[in-house]
Structure 1
Amino acid sequence: MGQKTNPIGNRLGIIRGWDSNWYGGNDYGDKIAEDYKIRKYIHARL
């Protein structure tokens, strides 16, 4: 049996871009939490 790969992962950088583009330093965890809250808020409003 072969291993299946995620087709989105194969297309990143070619056809499709990343969902988020930000760089974290010492506050990496805070930025992940903030990104999650923003996405959750937008998803609830749409």
Structure 2
Amino acid sequence: MTLSPLADAGLVVQAHVVAALSALVLGAMQLALPKGTTRHRLLGWV
């Protein structure tokens, strides 16, 4: 698997992939980290 199809895709598609991967990482962090902390609330806001 290579990243060439993503590199050849339009800017909108690339931005969508970055946003989706960011949401996936932030969601996993929200589930794994302690609840109710300032970091938890900040990540939820983001």
Normalised TM-score (structure 2): 0.43
Determine which structure has greater relative contact order: mean sequence separation of CA pairs < 8 Å that are 6+ residues apart, divided by chain length: 2
| Structure with the bigger percentage of helix | 2
